[in-house]
Amino acid sequence: MLKLQGLYKSFHPGTVNERTALAGVDLTLNPGDFVTVIGSNGAGKSTLLGAIAGSFYVDRGRILLDGEDITYQPAYRRSGQIGRLFQDPSQGTAPNLTIEENLAIAAGRGAKRRWISSITPSQRDFFREELSLFEMGLENRLTCKVGQLSGGQRQALALLMATIRPPKLLLLDEHTAALDPAAAQKVLEMTQLVVQRGHLTALMVTHNIQAAFSVGNRTIVMGEGKILKDLTQSQRQSVSPGSLLAYYV
Ligand SMILES: Nc1ncnc2c1ncn2[C@@H]1O[C@H](COP(=O)(O)OP(=O)(O)O)[C@@H](O)[C@H]1O
Ligand SMILES: [Mg+2]
């Protein structure tokens, strides 16, 4: 489904600020894999997701999505197949547009006709139905400006926007880290729901080791630009989260 082969990425090469962010990453995701990613600050987790999404090109290596070589495909072309959420809920949603306008833009992504014509009643019903899945009352606030929502509500909307046209791959970069514990828990539950429902393949970076081990079916541990551990579901059950702290040093 996703195949990463020998990925390398340095920032500011040849200067005193040179940072090697990816130092030879090989990873294969099978269809339906929901992989959580942990590792210390600066381990290369965000860089890995950025490389997959096309925020920059890697220095070396290959990225294959469903057999297609996307290594040098620009980010805007990948965005039709790859959904992405960030820590900051304001990335991915437009604050001055309403909930339904945001959803209409997301639903039209990748389509040939890109402008938003007026939202039809059947579209509105569809948005309402999708939002009601989250049980946050958002389905009754379709014409509310997104800037008025709480961080958790906004991240829920961003999650729906990223998946309303099911992507081949969903990338989540600490998307619950900026939320209060209750909202973080809620968004995490919704994430599992959305991934299961759509049979999506996903990579989720988290600082919460407990969440990393209870969500999805596989966990990778990153450090110094490499994948240090790749734990299957049964391996995750036999490893104590505490023993992983060694990788954070
Ligand atoms: N845009 C950038 N410019 C310069 N250095 C960067 C940039 N992005 C990441 N880095 C560096 O690359 C390394 C990996 O960063 P990052 O992928 O953000 O780590 P993580 O998400 O695991 O905390 C760090 O040393 C970081 O300082
Ligand atoms: Mg990061």
Query: Is 153 close to ligand 1, i.e. is its CB under 6 Å away?
Result: no
pLDDT tens readout for residues 143-189 = 999 999 999 999 999 999 999 999 999 999 999 999 999 999 999 99
Q: How confident is the model at residue 212 (pLDDT cuts 50, 70, 90)?
A: very high
Residue with CA nearest ligand 1 atom 5: 11
Q: How far is the CA of 88 from the centre of ligand 1 (A)?
A: 17
pLDDT tens readout for residues 27-81 = 999 999 999 999 999 999 999 999 999 999 999 999 999 999 999 999 999 998 9
Q: How confident is the model at residue 242 (pLDDT cuts 50, 70, 90)?
A: confident
Q: How far is the CA of 107 from the centre of ligand 1 (A)?
A: 32
The pLDDT, as a whole number, for residue 92 is 84
The pLDDT, as a whole number, for residue 108 is 83
pLDDT tens readout for residues 93-119 = 999 999 999 999 998 876 655 555 688
The arithmetic mean of pLDDT across residues 201-211, rounded, is 94
The pLDDT, as a whole number, for residue 237 is 87
The residue with greater pLDDT, 243 or 29, is: 29
The pLDDT, as a whole number, for residue 246 is 76
Query: Is 244 close to ligand 1, i.e. is its CB under 6 Å away?
Result: no
The pLDDT, as a whole number, for residue 114 is 55
Sign of CA dihedral 196, 205, 80, 64: negative
Q: How far is the CA of 224 from the centre of ligand 1 (A)?
A: 10
Query: Is 44 close to ligand 1, i.e. is its CB under 6 Å away?
Result: yes
- Taken in order of first residue, the domains within the chain and their CATH numbers are 2-95+151-248 (3.40.50.300)
Give ion ligand 2 contacts, CB < 5 A.
45-46
The arithmetic mean of pLDDT across residues 1-9, rounded, is 98
Query: Is 151 close to ligand 1, i.e. is its CB under 6 Å away?
Result: no
Ordered DSSP codes for 89-133: TTTTS-TTSBHHHHHHHHHHTT-S--S--PPPHHHHHHHHHHHHT
Query: Is 226 close to ligand 1, i.e. is its CB under 6 Å away?
Result: no
Residue with CA nearest ligand 1 atom 7: 11
Sign of CA dihedral 53, 48, 40, 191: positive
Q: How far is the CA of 133 from the centre of ligand 1 (A)?
A: 36
**83 strand-pairing partners:** 170
Of 193, 78, 187, residue with least CA distance to 133:
193
Q: How far is the CA of 41 from the centre of ligand 2 (A)?
A: 7
